[in-house]
Amino acid sequence: MKILGIDVGGSGIKGAIIQTRTGELLTERYRIPTPLPPTPEAVAGVIGQIASHFRWEKPIGIGFPAVVQQGVAKTAANIDKSFIGTNVEKLFSKKSGCPVHVLNDADAAGIAEMKFGAGKDHKGLVLLITVGTGIGTVLFTRGKLVPNTEFGHVVLPGRGITGEQYASDAVREREKLSWKEWALRFNEYLHHLEFLLSPDLIILGGGVSKEEEKEHYMKHFTIKAPIVLAKLKNNAGMIGAAIAAKRRYKEKE
């Protein structure tokens, strides 16, 4: 099935038509800067623009930076706080004129990685961590998603701050940390998550997961669980959102 997948980010909103059977992008990505302020009406307008660009009239899957339950945004990260309590599925559907399924953006990326990327065919407990402006987490058990986890916000023992406040990529850049300094911080965070969850595999995504950077920090990680880089990079959110929309669409048929 062909589905329009859209990924809503703090700096840009991008979309492409996805072949959900293979994860292939059938079009070039179309990106529009995230409006400022990123209010519900403004972001919905961009969703409508992307749908119009592709002349799309079928289901749309959207990865969105919030906890999303039954189509309603319960939190707001890198978007306007007025999104909280908004039924984003209804709003985006109205603006685009299409059936819309919205899910957490990290969950969308995780779905793609588990189907086509680093977690493919893995049946154990898999934890995907996306490290960028913040820290997003996705948890799968026996291939099934545990939605809306927020382990980036767990408070580190003895630190009094969250993993995101201590070891995100934005913190690395803002505090001008060397890769080793950042890696030692992130390793502390990884050990805490391993203590809490005992994952069988950790997949690392987001801004730090570029292949050319891993040699600077991977050697400093001392957790027991194997840790690998995500494979689908910046396309994961669009691909996973499209897969999720396909599943929802089939459920309603």
pTM of the model: 0.90
Q: Indicate whether 128 and 88 sit together in one domain.
A: no
Q: Indicate whether 171 and 126 sit together in one domain.
A: yes
| Intervals of the chain under pLDDT 50 | 253
Q: Indicate whether 154 and 245 sit together in one domain.
A: no
Q: Indicate whether 85 and 166 sit together in one domain.
A: no
Residue 18 lies in a domain: yes
Task: List Cβ neighbours of 132 (8 Å cut-off, separation of 6 or more).
Answer: 168, 169, 170, 206, 207, 208
Q: Indicate whether 124 and 227 sit together in one domain.
A: yes
- What pLDDT sits at residue 252? 59
In 3D space, the residue among 12, 40, 17 whose CA is nearest the CA of residue 28 turns out to be 17
- What pLDDT sits at residue 250? 77
At position 127, the amino acid (one-letter code) is: L
- CATH number where 215 lies: 3.30.420.40
Task: List Cβ neighbours of 9 (8 Å cut-off, separation of 6 or more).
Answer: 34, 65, 78, 105, 237
Residue 115 lies in a domain: no
Q: Indicate whether 126 and 68 sit together in one domain.
A: no
Q: Indicate whether 55 and 38 sit together in one domain.
A: yes
- Report residue 138 as tokens: 């996705």
Residue 140 lies in a domain: yes
- What pLDDT sits at residue 207? 80
Residue 89 burial by CB count (10 A; 0-12/13-18/19+): exposed, middle or buried?
buried
- What pLDDT sits at residue 133? 81
- What pLDDT sits at residue 251? 62
Q: Indicate whether 179 and 103 sit together in one domain.
A: no
Residue 114 lies in a domain: no
Q: Indicate whether 240 and 184 sit together in one domain.
A: no
The domain of 104 spans: 2-108+235-252
Residue 179 lies in a domain: yes
Residue 88 lies in a domain: yes
Q: Indicate whether 82 and 175 sit together in one domain.
A: no
Q: Indicate whether 72 and 18 sit together in one domain.
A: yes
Q: Indicate whether 192 and 240 sit together in one domain.
A: no
Residue 240 lies in a domain: yes
Provide the domain count of the chain.
Answer: 2
